[in-house]
Structure 1
Amino acid sequence: MAFAGRKCEAVKLLLNDGMDEIKVSPDYNWFRSTVPLKRIIVDDDDSKVWSLYDAGPKSVRCPIIFLPPVSGTAEVFFQQVLALTGWGYRVISLQYPVYWDLMEFCDGFRKLLDHLHLDKVHLFGASLGGFLAQKFAEYTHKSPRVHSLILCNSFSDTTIFNQTWTANSFWLMPAFLLKKIVLGNFAKGPVDPKMADAIDFMVDRLESLNQSELASRLTLNCQNSYVEPHKIKDVAVTIIDVFDQSALSLEAKEEMYKLYPNARRAHLKTGGNFPYLCRSAEVNLYIQIHMRQFHGTRYAAINPAMVSAEELEMSSNQDSEDYQ
């Protein structure tokens, strides 16, 4: 059980002096000191607590909601929260409670949106978060709640992990074994300092999750399920992928492209499993480009008064010629 209380030694070898650079960064400290963490219960079971950061103009009724991967908490998107709210967007980064079934998750998420008085939203999902975002869009397709999707290093079919046969036994496994399973998908070999810092930060976030949180997430990640694209064909989609090593196989990425032939594709040369941490400027740019198509509509996630300033900053930062 000692594993749960220390960094994985194999991962620490990748880091500069084993320091938690992100945890002591001015941006992270500013985020933690200025954006309050809210806890909300929407189910009859009061042990199911949604934790979230809700930042930006509350007048915006169609915000961007961020869903973390198996190893992540609501904090992992702090750089998106800071940058996007600075440009006038309303952003919600959340952490889901323990759910063992995809439909149970979708029902809980729908209740959360009802509680927040949000009719429709834009979802950014990383890995498992992206899969859950797709399943929620599918779940609500008859009365749509998802206006658009940004899928980062995500997948559409859980069988790619070859774990469907063990999905129902994760709840029995001790926390240290579950963490070992998750760490097995982290980058191996030399990485640049920013990626090393991102891995270190995610290991720290992983260690903050208890056994039931981890077991339930792995169960959702691996129980036999796939996305039915015909149910969400009217949802605007952007797919963010990296060209270097990540937990996703090339085949899984190609399947996503086939599933969403009209999706915009945003490629990062490097970034590993956590580009929103180590390549945040590029990811934030792609989010802005995705959201630009909704400016001037009731589904805009930005304060209308900020649009012109944001457009100017976008054009001066980088042209979107490589954004297909």
Structure 2
Amino acid sequence: MSEIQTSQEYQSFRSSVPQKKLIVDDDDKKEWILYDTGPRQVKCPLICLPPASGTADVFYRQLLSLSTAGIRVMAVEFPIYWTMKEFCEGFKRLLDHLQLDKVHLLGASLGGFLAQKFAEYTHKSPRVASLILCNSFYETSIFQQTNSAPTFWMMPALFLKKMVMGNFDRSLNDPEIADSIDFMVEKLDSLSQPELASRLTLNCMNCYVEPQKLTAVEITIMDVFDDCALSQEVREEMYKCYPNAKRAHLKNGGNFPYLSRSLEVNVFIQIHLKTFDDTQYSAKYVIEELDRPGTSNNGE
């Protein structure tokens, strides 16, 4: 077992934050997994979308830390969807079910791509207030798998896992990055063949984002400067796509900085969300004077 999995912090998260399962599709096998922390009064929370290899709890350090700062944070794991439209429709139904009109999205790798596609899909009737894109991309051709993507559904799980793990550099000396990789390998092992095949299909099928449809969305691009699965060229393309985006650079952190450099990542998230303080799209609940203990709000 990885050090993260056995850590007191992770065990405390699992025992204190309930895992919810929601069905919003007609197919009752399509189950969304959800963690929800922080003040329920907030109607524009931050929702975290994991990478292809991850489950919702990979964001446990954001769920624990940011919620104590008064921010409502959710992490979701989506069911098996094979097309981008299916995912976007399913996510829209989830937001409707949760009675959330607009949300902030933090997406890591594939999660970031899906977040952009959802913002694009709903741009005429916007559901996304802002995006934080961590080690992400805007077109799938970078993986050079668009021709084989339609066959992933019938490939053995072991083959698919090897495809993903080829991006994990385990020769690193940094213990926190090494721990984050061990933890993500455990998460990858917990995914079934159909779950992993559907994620890799979304990750690699021929698809790209139309950035001109996201001009009204506040965007922060979060990158690491050390080795990760994305090349420098891919990062440069992202900057060109979103020339007005804020940039949050971490000196290092590997593929999963939300685990390996969670303190820095959480600070960047708070800076990003601060823009929305005192607006209807604030992800933070501020205690009003009338809410404070010992004060009356009934006019007495």
TM range (shorter): over 0.9
Which residue among 159, 163, 166 is the counterpart of 1:177?
159
The RMSD of aligned alpha carbons is 0.8
Post-superposition offset of 1:188:
4.2
Equivalence map 1:251-290=2 (5 Å): 251-290=233-272
Q: 2:79 maps to what in 1?
A: 97
SS at match of 1:100: coil
Q: 2:148 maps to what in 1?
A: 166
Which amino acid in structure 1 is aligned with residue 146 of structure 2? T
Is contact 2:107-2:133 (8 Å) kept? yes
Whole-Å Cα distance in 2 between the matches of residues 191 and 214 of structure 1?
29
Q: 1:186 maps to what in 2?
A: 168
Which residue among 23, 26, 29 is the counterpart of 1:44?
26
Listed one character per residue, the Cα deviations across residues 231-269 of structure 1 (whole Å, up to 9, x for unaligned) are 111100000000000000111100100010000001001
Whole-Å Cα distance in 1 between the matches of residues 172 and 113 of structure 2?
29
Whole-Å Cα distance in 1 between the matches of residues 200 and 169 of structure 2?
18
Equivalence map 1:119-198=2 (5 Å): 119-198=101-180
Whole-Å Cα distance in 2 between the matches of residues 263 and 44 of structure 1?
37
Equivalence map 1:200-279=2 (5 Å): 200-279=182-261
Equivalence map 1:1-20=2 (5 Å): 20=2
Listed one character per residue, the Cα deviations across residues 137-179 of structure 1 (whole Å, up to 9, x for unaligned) are 0000000000000000000010000000111000010111110
Whole-Å Cα distance in 2 between the matches of residues 168 and 153 of structure 1?
25
Which amino acid in structure 2 is aligned with residue 242 of structure 1? V
TM value normalised by structure 1: 0.88
Which amino acid in structure 2 is aligned with residue 233 of structure 1? T
Q: 1:28 maps to what in 2?
A: 10
Listed one character per residue, the Cα deviations across residues 180-214 of structure 1 (whole Å, up to 9, x for unaligned) are 11000111422311111000000000000000000
Check 1:68–1:281 CA distance in 2 against 1; reply closer, same or farther (3 A cut). same
Whole-Å Cα distance in 1 between the matches of residues 225 and 170 of structure 2?
15
The range that moved more, 19-28 or 56-65, is: 19-28
Whole-Å Cα distance in 1 between the matches of residues 173 and 76 of structure 2?
28
Listed one character per residue, the Cα deviations across residues 104-155 of structure 1 (whole Å, up to 9, x for unaligned) are 1000000000000000000000000000000000000000000000000000
Listed one character per residue, the Cα deviations across residues 255-310 of structure 1 (whole Å, up to 9, x for unaligned) are 1000100000010011000000000000000000000000000100001129xxxx
Whole-Å Cα distance in 2 between the matches of residues 175 and 305 of structure 1?
49
Q: 1:322 maps to what in 2?
A: none
> Across the two proteins, how many residue pairs are aligned to each other?
288
Q: 2:94 maps to what in 1?
A: 112
SS at match of 1:62: coil
SS at match of 1:53: strand
Q: 1:9 maps to what in 2?
A: none
SS at match of 1:22: helix
Q: 1:15 maps to what in 2?
A: none
Whole-Å Cα distance in 1 between the matches of residues 155 and 222 of structure 2?
32
Q: 2:70 maps to what in 1?
A: 88
Whole-Å Cα distance in 2 between the matches of residues 299 and 190 of structure 1?
40
Whole-Å Cα distance in 1 between the matches of residues 224 and 172 of structure 2?
17
Structure 1: 5+ residue runs without aligned partners?
1-18, 307-324
SS at match of 2:287: helix
Whole-Å Cα distance in 1 between the matches of residues 127 and 155 of structure 2?
35
TM value normalised by structure 2: 0.95
Is contact 2:177-2:260 (8 Å) kept? yes
Post-superposition offset of 1:25:
1.1
Which amino acid in structure 1 is aligned with residue 10 of structure 2? Y
Which amino acid in structure 1 is aligned with residue 230 of structure 2? L
Structure 2: 5+ residue runs without aligned partners?
289-300
Post-superposition offset of 1:24:
1.2
Whole-Å Cα distance in 1 between the matches of residues 143 and 181 of structure 2?
21
